[in-house]
Structure 1
Amino acid sequence: MPRILLTIILPLALWVWAFVDCLTTPEDEVKHLPKVVWVLIVLLFPPLGPIAWLIAGKQRGFLRAASAGAHPGHPADDRAGRPAARGGRPLAPDDDPEFLASLKKDDKDHESMLKQWEADLRRRERELRDRDEPEDGRKS
């Protein structure tokens, strides 16, 4: 049984896993060779192809995060030199100047709306007071 595991099941599982991983990896995370070439290597050269893919084919874990903003002008950097997530967006909302500006604009909009509501409330209270008070100033 251990012989079957080591000679058939384990290499087959490694081959299938490496093939699926290679197919689902985004093109920008593939290293050294084009993705199509890696797929062919994994398919045509078991078990060396899957092992080569695991070692040299893909940016993994901390290496991906470290290289994303390591070099100025790197594709993962935005125009201001800040690290960006996939799609060119900043990594966090507090790093995005457009988002911060929109928060300030929203705050100003809310403040002006509150001032309008307060002024409207004062006007309505004044109208109610004037309507309830008699014209000669005496209370009834």
Structure 2
Amino acid sequence: MASIVVLLLLLDLALVIIALVDCLRFKEDEIRTAPWAAWMFAILLLSPFGAIAWFVKGRPVPKVELRPRPVFVAPDDNPDFLKNLAAAIRENNPEGGQ
């Protein structure tokens, strides 16, 4: 039983340290829902709930840059393809269609 309590205390300590280091990495204007100092006190005083709350509600959301997807145009909608096709047909059939 004592080993379980020690394990839980070590997990709590690890979670608090990770949350503190993570909170220290960000500038105050990047942090959500509360000032930086409030998060530090919450992480330290409300262990482990403050650390969990930091990861759920305080940590900044990473910015995701979306790359534009290439637009696929079907061959029959592509004017360049149609011009090339008409030129190729004229080259291969100089009589005009018969």
Tell me the TM-score range normalised by the shorter chain.
0.5 to 0.7
| Letter aligned with residue 63 of structure 2 | A
Secondary structure of 1:59 counterpart: coil
Higher helix proportion (structure 1 or 2): 1
Secondary structure of 1:65 counterpart: coil
Structure 2 Cα separation of the partners of residues 57 and 2 of structure 1: 32
Larger radius of gyration: 1
Q: Which residue of 2 aligns with 1:59?
A: 60
| Letter aligned with residue 51 of structure 2 | P
For residues 88-99 of structure 1, the aligned pairs below 5 Å read: none
More relative contact order in 1 or in 2 (CA 8 Å, sep 6+)? 2
For residues 1-140 of structure 1, the aligned pairs below 5 Å read: 3=4, 4-5=6-7, 7-60=8-61, 64-66=62-64
Q: Deviations over 1:22-57 (max 9, x none)?
A: 122122320011111111111111010000001000
Secondary structure of 2:33 counterpart: coil
Structure 2 Cα separation of the partners of residues 65 and 2 of structure 1: 41
Structure 2 Cα separation of the partners of residues 30 and 54 of structure 1: 11
Unaligned runs of 5+ in 2: 66-98
Runs of 4+ in 1 over 6 A off after TM superposition: none
Provide the aligned C-alpha RMSD in A.
2.0
Structure 1 Cα separation of the partners of residues 55 and 48 of structure 2: 11
Unaligned runs of 5+ in 1: 69-140
Q: Deviations over 1:44-84 (max 9, x none)?
A: 11010000001000113xxx315x9xxxxxxxxxxxxxxxx
* Count of residue pairs the alignment pairs up: 63
